[in-house]
Structure 1
Amino acid sequence: MTDEPSPDWDPRAPDVLADQIAAYDQLRARCPVAHSEFLGWSVLRHDDVVRVLDDPQTFSNDVPHRLTVPNGMDPPDHTEFRRVNDAYFTADLMAAFEPACRRIAADLVYTLPRGVATDVMPALAEVFALRVQNSFLGWPSELEEPLRRWTAKNRAATLAQDRPALAAIAVEFDGFIRDLLAARRQAATGAPDDLTTRLLGEHVWGRPMTDDELVSLLRNWTVGELSTISASVGILAHHLAVHPATQHLLRGDPTLIGAANDEILRMHAPLIANRRVTTRPVDVGGQLIGAGERVTVLWASANRDESVFGDPDEFRVDRDPADNLVYGRGIHVCPGAPLARLELRVLVEELLARTTELSSPAHLEPTNAHYPGSGFATLPVVLR
């Protein structure tokens, strides 16, 4: 490993946390491969990020401190576990789940107050993510509030890099899942016919998956769902509230909602970054990075690179979808992308179909979420 270089920036500085998207835009212009003690080497340009994503041999995903299925694996392990993962996100399963997803979205939108400012983060975004995930996996509604509290604790400990707290939080979450698996095993043939029960029969390398592997896979699905989907709902709601023209377009042609969601999330990433570690010395964007060094892929910057997207804040539904990295790229493309796209499409469809207007109250400003979160911590919106 090379000597520790001088930092180019501090990802946790107050001015960065106050507006992460603007901070990354400024950093990309002056230092497209930037070093910090917190994130190692941050890669900000689109072309450089694509280079990292397309070379998993050089930029390894095997970086977590605990087993992470499948995201924290490299081939051949990643290939085998990704095979299991992807069987749960097929087009047939998504179509079968859509009615339940739509009921959840419709019920939530129906209960939101009309004509007054409502913080849609706790009232819509967070509860939608929780209820949809529980429904998809067949988990009991009693887990909704414990999972909500767990997500908040996990976000705070990650920002603080409080490793003892993170370890305790991980054990707490794993306990939820182990209890669910144990209950299904005890029920035997009386277990509910859902995806969590189905997972108990999965095999890798010709053997049954271990409980550690099952817990890790379910943790990966759930943590990503609860944080990223709730952030995405907030980002989409905010964009619609402050851009009446986009609202009008999508109300007039709901078939554009899927492409519009991807474009809005390109402009304002729901997931800030992912980690890699180098397996050999490598040049990225003119910066020599040694073997064994941390590399952070900053989605929130790459998807706003002017050299690819021109004005990054220009809303266009006709962009080449291959350029949009909101769900990643390559062998580690988001494992739950089909479900995420379904959920967000259905939610926006129901939100627009059951309202006549979304607006942002002039007297109340949203507050931004802090790393590792994105989007908004609070988001007042008026529904009519």
Structure 2
Amino acid sequence: MSVAETLDHRIPADRAMSLLTPSAYADGTIHETYRWLRKHEPLGVAEVEGVDPFWVVTRHADILEISRQNDLFHNGDRAPIITSQAADRKVREMMGGSPHLLRTLIHMDAPDHMKYRVLTQAWFLPQNLRSLEDRIRAIAKTAVAKMAATGGRCDFVRDVALHYPLHVIMTILGVPEEDEPRMLKLTQEIFGAADPELGRNANANLADLPEEEAQLDFSVITDFFNYFRALSERKRAGPSDDLASLIANAQVDGAPLSDLEAMSYYIIVATAGHDTTSSSTATALWALAENPGELAKVKADPSLIPSLVDESIRWATPVKTFMRTATADVEFAGRDIKKGDWLMLCYASGNRDEAVFDEPDRFRVDRRPNKHLAFGYGAHLCLGQHLAKMEMRILWEELIPHLSKLQLAGEPAMSEAVFVNGPKRLPVAFEMA
């Protein structure tokens, strides 16, 4: 029996559709869908026209267990990001039958995954990151000074949250500072392709575009490739102490990385390396503005900053979903999963699971323990998790002691995206002590 024939666990059409509707992630209604699913159909089948049927995994325990079993649930057999049948066909036509437009770590399984992961893993270990703390703190001080210079009103996303982690990762990667605006724009275009303001087709009617282009503008990938191909050539000719030089000159099994593999590695570092951190940072300040009592707790006890960081990441969960593909028939959580079935891991649902988190819909800076799944779990645990947490910790250490007042000064807005989303506007009024 295939996933499409599992009628007894079919999710209602409106709930299934919301999982694939970008605006549901922007206005927060996705959380109502998640609550309903956790209660009524925590592992059900979504059937939406134009998309292959897929299992929807919403409970913390089930997401954790699937993430542990990397041999049974693969990343690379099908697209690891939810995609339409039209987009899948387009990618396979372009890539000679492969379902992957890129070949990053998230597209790989064993044994390749670890071979490529270890190339850069040492850069992101805590002992190496400690040597970068002074540089990151200097960048944070500059960001706080820029915020203070606005005179008490700013768009925290535009003025601080976007640029602080961007500058950190580009410094580590080896991208010149003058190219950072270009990297930011391309990142917003790739993750915000369906957003009416952020996507490259922002001025077009998305309904008038081919379905695959509304989901992902392939020209953005081309622009990334062209930029990083030139950077890679420079780093091979004159390597320096940065990640781009390492990638440009890396070898796996005694052979240089292919062009696709090298460009994909650059792209995942250059996008995920800052976008998710900026989303978590902005989400944190948004929550603190709406919960002055929580801000007062951190100001009174700065030792709460690490737990503030974890709660911010749980609350934001910028990466909403990843897909896995079953490699064999298996009974899982009372369901008959068949070989080849597609499963959506809903991290933002797992991070609000009532069975794991007390008062999951409250933002609590002193939440302990905080077993959130925002960085994934198992072999694919986020490579940059320690860097992200360090960046946020340092920024709050530099900002919060000086923040005497904070409130919203307009209507915030989230990006419209199913895969990765976060605040795109956050107008605040504040006073610095």
TM over 0.5, yes or no?
yes
Cα displacement (A) at 1:182 = 0.8
User: How many Å separate the matches in 1 of 2:274 and 2:323?
Assistant: 19
Worse overlay, 166-175 or 208-217: 208-217
Matching residue within 325, 330, 333 for 2:373: 325
Equivalent residues in 2 for 1:181-220 (5 A)? 181-186=232-237, 188=238, 191-220=239-268
Matching residue within 249, 259, 280 for 2:307: 259
State the one-letter code of the partner of 2:184. Answer: R
Report if the CA contact (8 A) 2:166-2:275 is conserved. no
Question: Which residue of structure 1 aligns with residue 201 of structure 2?
Answer: none
Report Cα offsets for 1:13-49 as digits up to 9, x if no partner: 4556521334322332222124143582221001111
User: How many Å separate the matches in 2 of 1:33 and 1:109?
Assistant: 44
Question: Which residue of structure 1 aligns with residue 117 of structure 2?
Answer: 82
Question: Which residue of structure 2 aligns with residue 26 of structure 1?
Answer: 36
Matching residue within 54, 76, 79 for 2:68: 54
Matching residue within 131, 154, 162 for 2:167: 131
Report if the CA contact (8 A) 1:118-1:382 is conserved. yes
Worse overlay, 198-207 or 289-298: 198-207
Worse overlay, 364-373 or 339-348: 364-373
Question: Which residue of structure 1 aligns with residue 90 of structure 2?
Answer: none
Cα displacement (A) at 1:318 = 5.2
TM-score (norm 1): 0.89
Report Cα offsets for 1:197-238 as digits up to 9, x if no partner: 233343322333334322222211222123211211111111
Worse overlay, 13-22 or 224-233: 13-22
- SS where residue 324 of structure 2 aligns? strand
- SS where residue 373 of structure 2 aligns? coil
Report if the CA contact (8 A) 2:281-2:312 is conserved. no
State the one-letter code of the partner of 2:58. Answer: L
Report if the CA contact (8 A) 1:101-1:132 is conserved. yes
User: How many Å separate the matches in 2 of 1:335 and 1:41?
Assistant: 26
Structure 1 residues 316 and 132, CA gap change in structure 2 (3 angstroms): closer
Question: Which residue of structure 2 aligns with residue 367 of structure 1?
Answer: 413
Worse overlay, 115-124 or 256-265: 115-124
TM-score (norm 2): 0.80
User: How many Å separate the matches in 1 of 2:160 and 2:37?
Assistant: 33
Cα displacement (A) at 1:107 = 1.0
State the one-letter code of the partner of 2:423. Answer: F
User: How many Å separate the matches in 1 of 2:212 and 2:188?
Assistant: 14
Report if the CA contact (8 A) 1:100-1:135 is conserved. no
Report if the CA contact (8 A) 1:274-1:296 is conserved. yes
User: How many Å separate the matches in 2 of 1:155 and 1:282?
Assistant: 33
* Structure 1 portions without partners, runs of 5+: none
Cα displacement (A) at 1:157 = 2.7
Structure 1 residues 70 and 273, CA gap change in structure 2 (3 angstroms): same
Worse overlay, 292-301 or 268-277: 268-277
State the one-letter code of the partner of 1:383. Answer: F
Matching of residue 154 in structure 1 with residue 205 in structure 2: no
User: How many Å separate the matches in 1 of 2:381 and 2:120?
Assistant: 12
State the one-letter code of the partner of 1:174. Answer: F
Matching of residue 293 in structure 1 with residue 374 in structure 2: no
- SS where residue 42 of structure 1 aligns? strand
User: How many Å separate the matches in 2 of 1:205 and 1:177?
Assistant: 23
- SS where residue 275 of structure 1 aligns? strand
- SS where residue 336 of structure 2 aligns? strand
User: How many Å separate the matches in 2 of 1:98 and 1:36?
Assistant: 47
Report if the CA contact (8 A) 1:282-1:288 is conserved. yes
Question: Which residue of structure 2 aligns with residue 178 of structure 1?
Answer: 229
Report if the CA contact (8 A) 1:257-1:349 is conserved. yes
Report if the CA contact (8 A) 1:68-1:220 is conserved. no
Report if the CA contact (8 A) 1:33-1:284 is conserved. no
User: How many Å separate the matches in 1 of 2:167 and 2:309?
Assistant: 20
Structure 1 residues 303 and 183, CA gap change in structure 2 (3 angstroms): same
Report if the CA contact (8 A) 2:314-2:374 is conserved. yes
Report Cα offsets for 1:138-172 as digits up to 9, x if no partner: 21012112122212221233677635953322121
Question: Which residue of structure 2 aligns with residue 304 of structure 1?
Answer: 352
Question: Which residue of structure 1 aligns with residue 430 of structure 2?
Answer: 383
User: How many Å separate the matches in 2 of 1:126 and 1:379?
Assistant: 11
User: How many Å separate the matches in 2 of 1:87 and 1:310?
Assistant: 35
Cα displacement (A) at 1:115 = 5.8
User: How many Å separate the matches in 1 of 2:188 and 2:316?
Assistant: 21
User: How many Å separate the matches in 2 of 1:173 and 1:94?
Assistant: 27
Question: Which residue of structure 2 aligns with residue 269 of structure 1?
Answer: 317
Cα displacement (A) at 1:290 = 2.3
Asked which structure has the greater RCO (Cα within 8 Å, sep 6+), the reply is: 1
